[in-house]
Amino acid sequence: MFSPKRRGRTVSLLIVILAYVILQAMIMSGNLSRLLISLLVPVCAYIVAALGLNLNVGFSGELNLGQAGFMSIGAFTSVILAGILNANGITGIPVLILCILAGAAMAAAVGWLISVPVLKLQGDYLAIVTLAFGQIIMSLINNLYCGIDSKGLHFAFVTNTIELAEGGKMLISGPMGATGVSTVSTFTAGFILVVLTLLIVYNLIDSRSGRAITAARDNRIAAESIGISISRTKTLAFVISSCLGGAAGALYALNYSSFVATKFDFNSSILLLVYVVLGGLGNMSGTIISTAVLVVLPEMLRFLQNYRMLIYAVVLIVIMLVSNNEFLKTKAEQLKKKLSANRKKGAAENV
C-alpha cells in the first residue's frame, strides 16, 4: 500500500548494509588505506547528525544552523560520562552504549529547552537564533574545565581552578578541549547507529507524528484547521533532530583521544546543512551518500595542498549543477525506462 515509502526505506537500508559489507571486506583484505579507515567513524557520525538535520530541514521545513552545537553537547556529555564510568572500572562497549544514550538524552533536553523560544520564530529569524545557539554552546564549552578524582567530578569556568587529588584526571580543559578520552567507537558501532537512526527516522515519518510534521510544513492553516498543533509538531521534529545530533556527537567523541570544542563550530553546522541540501531535502539515501562523499572528498584532495578547499568548492558547485540539471534528469529517466523495457522484453523471451 505504501510502496513508494517502503521503497525509500529499503533502498537506504540496502545502501548502508552493502557499504558496510564492502568496507569490512576491504578492511579485512587490507585494501583500505589507513586514512580512509580513520574516516569511517566520523562519516557514520556525520551521517547520523545529517539524517537528524534532514528531519528538521527537509520534513519540518525549518532552517537549522545549529546542528553542530547539538553534536558538541553530545560529544562533551559523553566525555564526562566516559570519565565517570572509567573511574568506576567500566570500559569497552557498555561505555559506548551508555555514552551515546546520555549524549542523545542531553542534546534532546537542551533542544527541547531552546525550542520553546526558538519555534515561535519562523524562517530567517529561526535560522539566526539556531546559529547563535551553536556559537554560544561552542563558547561555553570552550571555557569549561572538568576533572575527576576520588571525590567525584569538579567543574570550573573560564579559569582552571580545579585542584585534583592524587590519581585524578582532567576530562575537559577549556580551549585545549577533551583529553585522554577512551576511544571505544568502532565502525561496527557506527554502522549500527546509522541503521537505528534510519529506522527511527523512517518509522517516525510513516506515523501520526510524521504526517503531522509534513502537514504543518505543507500548509499551516489547513493543519491547524484539522486540529494539529503546529508548535507541538515542530518541537517534536526539532527535539528528535537534536537528539540524533547528540548521539552522533557521542559516537564522534569516543573515536578520538582528544578534540576541541571549536571542532563543532559554525562551519560544521553549515557543512551538515550542505550534506542535507545536496542529498535532497527529505531524501534519506541522498543524505547518506552526499555525507559520505563530502566528508571523504576533502581528505582525498589533500595532495592539492593550498588549493584543496578551492577545488572542493568547485567540485561542490559542479555536483549541485549536475544533480539539478533538467536535461540530465530527463536523460536519466529515459535511460531507466529503456532499461526496464529491455528487462521486460528479456524476461518475455526467456519464457
Partner 1 sequence: MSETRTPVLKITDLGIDFGGLTAVNDLSLCVYDKEIYGLIGPNGAGKTTVFNMLTKVYQPSRGTIELCGQSTEKMNTIEVNKAGIARTFQNIRLFMNMSVLDNVKTGLHNDISYSVFESIFRLPRFGKQEKDADAKAMELLKIFGLEEKADLIAGNLPYGEQRRLEIARALATSPKLLLLDEPAAGMNPQETEDLMKTIRFVRDHFGIAILLIEHDMKLVMGICERITVLNFGMMLAEGTPDEIVNNPEVVKAYLGE
Residues that bind partner 1 (CB under 8 A): 1-4, 199-200, 203-204, 207-212, 214-215, 218-219, 221-229, 236
* Burial class of residue 69, CB neighbours in 10 A (0-12, 13-18, 19+): buried
Pick 222 or 322: Cβ nearer partner 1? 222
Minimum CB–partner distance for residue 232 and partner 1 (Å): 9
Question: What are the residues facing 156 on neighbouring strands?
Answer: 145
C-alpha cell at 301: 584532495
* Burial class of residue 310, CB neighbours in 10 A (0-12, 13-18, 19+): exposed
Pick 205 or 248: Cβ nearer partner 1? 205
**Tell me, what DSSP letter sits at residue 175?**
G
Pick 68 or 239: Cβ nearer partner 1? 239
For residue 318, the one-letter residue type is V
Minimum CB–partner distance for residue 248 and partner 1 (Å): 17
Q: How many CA atoms lie within 13 A of 70 on its CB side?
A: 38
Minimum CB–partner distance for residue 304 and partner 1 (Å): 41
CA-to-CA dists, residue 288 to 126, 200, 255, angstroms? 25, 15, 20
Pick 203 or 334: Cβ nearer partner 1? 203
Pick 6 or 338: Cβ nearer partner 1? 6
Minimum CB–partner distance for residue 314 and partner 1 (Å): 33
Helices (H), 55-186: 67-87, 93-118, 123-142
Minimum CB–partner distance for residue 4 and partner 1 (Å): 8
